Amino acid sequence: MAERPEDLNLPNAVITRIIKEALPDGVNISKEARSAISRAASVFVLYATSCANNFAMKGKRKTLNASDVLSAMEEMEFQRFVGPLKESLE
């Protein structure tokens, strides 16, 4: 488990690449905004993992699988992402 809170943050290079791909050309983002997005993404990943783990525990398993993540996305009310996520998994 992480020893420091900052150990839970996603790598800045990954966040920067995702942000650049999501924004139109010529749009810049401040360092503070990039940091806020990084923290929000990390919280989302932790929450999604926790929800998926609950589904694995209900199934008496210690290993999370794709169906646990898909169920977690639905429980978290992100149904619109379930279809595209299923497609990318196939």
Please compute the mean of the pLDDT values over residues 26-43 and round it to a whole number.
91
Residue-wise pLDDT tens digits, 46-58: 999 999 999 999 9
Going by C-alpha positions, the residue among 10, 61, 67 that lies closest to residue 35 is 10
Going by C-alpha positions, the residue among 39, 33, 36, 34 that lies closest to residue 10 is 39
For residue 6, what pLDDT band results from cuts at 50, 70 and 90? low
> How many residues appear in the chain?
90
**For residue 1, what pLDDT is reported?**
53
Q: Is the pLDDT of residue 2 over 80?
A: no
**For residue 61, what pLDDT is reported?**
96
State the residue for tokens 């992480």: 2
**CATH number of the domain located at residue range(s) 5-88 in this protein:** 1.10.20.10
What is the average pLDDT score of the chain? 90
Listed by start position, the domains of the chain span: 5-88
